[in-house]
A and B are shown apart, each in its own frame.
Chain A
């Protein structure tokens, strides 16, 4: 399958990007975000809603 992210993952604002384009952009936070989207599309996990942050 062609590695397009926008359509497959339903990206509203960066439709048309490929993973390679995002990897090439400065700020690998975005590349990591796209990798996460791909992983989520491949392997949905219903067990991941958390509330870790209730602080002391």
Chain B
């Protein structure tokens, strides 16, 4: 196993898994299929919970504002190389930031064209999504995204009160009106691009009001996020509060006569409770197949690790020295593909192991002791999964 991680940049905690031992035991990594490109490292909003700027990690301060041409071309070559080496029919590419649409229409054109052409030369297809705060979705930008078949996910935290409580401009004003203006354009004439909404949960908000407010633009998918946290930070509410919040959303969502939208977290938990396989890497015992590429070409693990300490998401790898195959053998990435072998003993004995899977990897962190712990949202997930099971049991009784 080879990585280029300089010792000084390794996280101080013990590695979650021993990659050599995993390989000896027959474990083999799955190829990466999702490439999250930090095409811009800065943002035009100043959300108070932002995982990039408002936690322990200061990587953004060391990054160029934009992913330059040389880095972009090398990223494109590496994605194509990985697709070719593993005979992947497609590679999913997420334009991310910061705020990726600060690249402007010309920048988006350049990024998408560079990656798409390289991947096509390798015999695969690149599929693009941009995850944006929604403030820059002008008609010209949407025309560009439509021309290049880039689907659009928008971060919005529910109704005006919930959204403006946290998603602020640098001057401290709410961003709701600007976001909704862009969202109405996206969900109207550009509907074919609409990928969904991303909402970070605030447990003091009204869960049903937040969910229902998000239905106005008929999103194909709503994704609720637990605020990134770990055992050193604790969560913003008492254990179980997020679970009860999501249980209320579940009742409203599952109780509708017709399925109004996919609520990704709930869809995946429900599917896994029913015995299916999750498509979400923190639900069930799945393998994460994502990698983050910073604006300077360094390769990072998941953004959720950024709440722990400066450099926690770093791998020591970069697109100039390393292929994406090198990523697969990095302990941090391998831990996210190792399933039960990366989990804490109390997770392994938990009756909900197959559904929860230990929760989001970054949420398992305990300062000084690494990631072999249950998620800090353990109590919340048990509340929610228990609620889903009870709901199913009621349905069973109602059936003839």
Contacts and interface: CB of A to CB of B under 8 A. Distances in A.
Interface of A: 9-14, 16-17, 21-22, 24-30, 32-34, 36-37, 40, 44, 46-56
Interface string B62-78: 00000000000000000
A17 B302 CA distance: 39
A51 B100 contact: no
A46 B89 CA distance: 12
Given A11-B275, A40-B277, A54-B303, 7 more contacts: A9-B274, A14-B396, A22-B395, A47-B33, A49-B281, A52-B196, A55-B131
Given A50-B279, A55-B225, A28 B398 contact: no
B257 A50 contact: no
A13 B100 contact: no
Interface range on chain B: under 10, 10 to 19, 20 to 34, or 35 or more? 35 or more
16 contacts: A13-B393, A27-B254, A27-B395, A29-B270, A33-B270, A33-B271, A37-B276, A49-B288, A50-B280, A52-B153, A53-B198, A53-B223, A54-B131, A54-B292, A55-B155, A56-B96
Contacts of A50: 34, 92, 279-281, 289-290
Contact of B398 (A25, A47, A49, A53): A25
B291 to A, nearest CB: 10
8 closest Cβ contacts across the A-B interface?
A10-B275, A29-B254, A51-B290, A53-B223, A55-B198, A48-B279, A55-B155, A21-B399
Interface in B358-397: 389, 392-393, 395-396
B26 interface: no
A56 B97 contact: yes
Interface string B270-307: 11011111111100001111101000000000111000
A14 B395 contact: yes
B286 A49 contact: yes
Contacts of B257: 26-28
Contacts of A21: 399-400
B97 to A, nearest CB: 5
A27 B252 CA distance: 10
A26 B255 contact: yes
B270 A56 contact: no
A56 to B, nearest CB: 5
Contact of B274 (A37, A48, A49): A37
B275 to A, nearest CB: 4
Interface string B333-346: 00000000000000
